[in-house]
Amino acid sequence: MNYLKWKILTSLSVIVLFMWGCTSTAKIEKDPSADFTSYRSFAWINKEKKDRQSDLLERQLQSAVASEMQKLGFRENRNKPDILLDYDIQMERSSRSQSDPVYSQSQFRQVFNPSTRRWGTVYFPSQYMGTETYQVPVNERTITITMIDARNDKTIWQGWSTNSADSKNLTSKEINSSVKAIIKKLK
């Protein structure tokens, strides 16, 4: 019974660590003089639509942000909002360091034993020789959400999340994960 409990606990720990590694992390900057208790409604800043391909992306991102804001008690009000929201998605190419262990080649050698007057095979296993560090190119995507006070047009809060990207396209799962991590920091 004790072995079974240990096995279950170990499995759950591995699952939790794996899931924790998959979540997005976010960072924020906020105006210390801003009173967030006075803000209850929001609206999106109207942008000129330059790229029609991003229309779906824009709707998904705005929907995810609106859903998370409503969970915090905010409501969308296009006529007279307290906060104006804006977003930016940036893709950049950078590099990160990666290290791999280096081992020697294992070998078999023929050795003559004078006491038995026979040849024998001796195995020499591989040995750890150190690490090799090199740079790997990666694509990083940053989603930034900015809150602006509608009365005085000052930026009061900005949150961003940076994740490595496999492609130029952004999935709804990646959007939701990043937006949750960013808006969670608003509390």
- Residues above pLDDT 70, as percent of the chain: 88
What is the Cα–Cα distance from 68 to 184, expressed in whole angstroms? 8
Residue 21 has pLDDT above 60, yes or no: no
What domains, with CATH codes, occur in the chain?
A: 25-98+139-184 (3.30.160.670), 99-132 (no CATH)
Judge residue 178's burial from the number of C-beta atoms within 10 Å of its C-beta, 0-12 exposed, 13-18 middle, 19 or more buried. buried
Which of the listed ranges 34-38, 51-55, 71-75 does the model predict with the highest average pLDDT?
A: 71-75
Give per-residue pLDDT as tens, 124-178. 899 999 999 999 888 888 889 999 998 888 989 999 988 887 777 777 888 888 8
- Select the more confidently predicted residue: 151 or 102: 102
Which pLDDT value is given to residue 94? Answer: 84
Reported as a pLDDT band with limits 50, 70 and 90, residue 100 is very high
Give per-residue pLDDT as tens, 77-98. 888 898 999 988 888 888 889 9
Contact status, residue 160 vs residue 144, Cβ threshold 8 Å: yes
- In 102-132, which positions are buried (b, 16+ CB within 10 angstroms) versus exposed (e)? eeeeeeeeeeeeeeeeeeeeeeeeeeeeeee
Give the predicted TM-score (pTM) of the model. 0.66
Residue 51 has pLDDT above 80, yes or no: no
Which pLDDT value is given to residue 47? Answer: 67
Question: How does the average pLDDT of the chain come out, rounded?
Answer: 83
Which pLDDT value is given to residue 49? Answer: 55
Contact status, residue 183 vs residue 158, Cβ threshold 8 Å: no
Residue 5 has pLDDT above 90, yes or no: no
CA 47 to chain centre: 27
Which pLDDT value is given to residue 99? Answer: 93
Q: At what angle do helices 55-71 and 172-184 cross, to 10 degrees?
A: 40
